[in-house]
Amino acid sequence: MKPVFKPFTILKEKNMIISFLLWACFVLLIGQIEIFAAIICYWRKLGPKGILLNFSFGNLYIFAIACLSFQIYDYFSDYYKNQELKFRGMKALTGVIAFLLILIMVIIYSSSDFPLGLTVKQMVDGTYANLGEILLQLMLYLISIGFSIYMFCVEKLHLFSGKFPELEDFIIRENETMQMLGKKVSETTNDGGIAL
């Protein structure tokens, strides 16, 4: 298994199954109540067009952004509370990726061509979410849920730090290697040169 996917292996641990199920219940399921409620409400009144209307409002983007933001909050609160935090590099990297994913979704959502000032009847009469926008929103929604699960696993890695020595602060090790190589390069190329 590639080291990138190793954080998922903590889900096999006995005490992590319950923790993950609770997290998934409260964050993933209850966090989507608004999406489910909107689908049920619109379905009763509008049928399948109600689902398209839900996509037009960008509800999946909103949930995905909130879900990733929650995980980023967990990372930064751990940084603030604990100076001896393990897997700092991996958490920083996943936090940056999550932030970039949020930024991409915000840009796409804010640049969508959904006309403002329409009544619900006008929105139902015309379909304002084209298939490309729907598929993009659905794809980013699923990626965000998967990445949130990954971030949950990375957040809990410190509980099993002995099992993942290759993941512990790999960015710090890489920086040390780069500094060492930089010193070697400067030592071998420093031949006195000509002073200008």
Distance between CA atoms of residues 178 and 59, nearest Å: 44
Report the pLDDT value the prediction gives residue 116, as an integer from 0 to 100: 47
Per-residue pLDDT of 105-143, as tens digits, reads 999 888 776 554 455 555 555 555 567 777 888 899 999
pTM of this prediction exceeds 0.85: no
Report the pLDDT value the prediction gives residue 189, as an integer from 0 to 100: 56
- Residue 29 reports pLDDT greater than 80: yes
Distance between CA atoms of residues 60 and 63, nearest Å: 5
Q: What percent of the chain is modeled with pLDDT above 70?
A: 76
For residue 66, give every residue at least 6 positions away whose Cβ sits within 8 Å of its Cβ, in sequence order, or none.
31
Report the pLDDT value the prediction gives residue 139, as an integer from 0 to 100: 92
Q: DSSP readout, 144-175?
A: HHHHHHHHHHHHTGGGGGGG-TTTTTHHHHHH
Tally Cβ neighbours within 10 Å of residue 131. Answer: 10
For residue 7, give every residue at least 6 positions away whose Cβ sits within 8 Å of its Cβ, in sequence order, or none.
90, 150, 153, 154, 157, 164, 167
Greater confidence (103 vs 54) lies with: 103
Greater confidence (174 vs 196) lies with: 174
Tally Cβ neighbours within 10 Å of residue 28. Answer: 15
Least confident of 18-22, 146-150, 152-156, 178-182: 178-182
Per-residue pLDDT of 10-26, as tens digits, reads 888 888 888 888 988 98
| Average pLDDT of the chain, as a whole number | 77
Distance between CA atoms of residues 73 and 152, nearest Å: 12
- Residue 66 reports pLDDT greater than 70: yes
Per-residue pLDDT of 155-173, as tens digits, reads 888 787 677 766 666 656 6
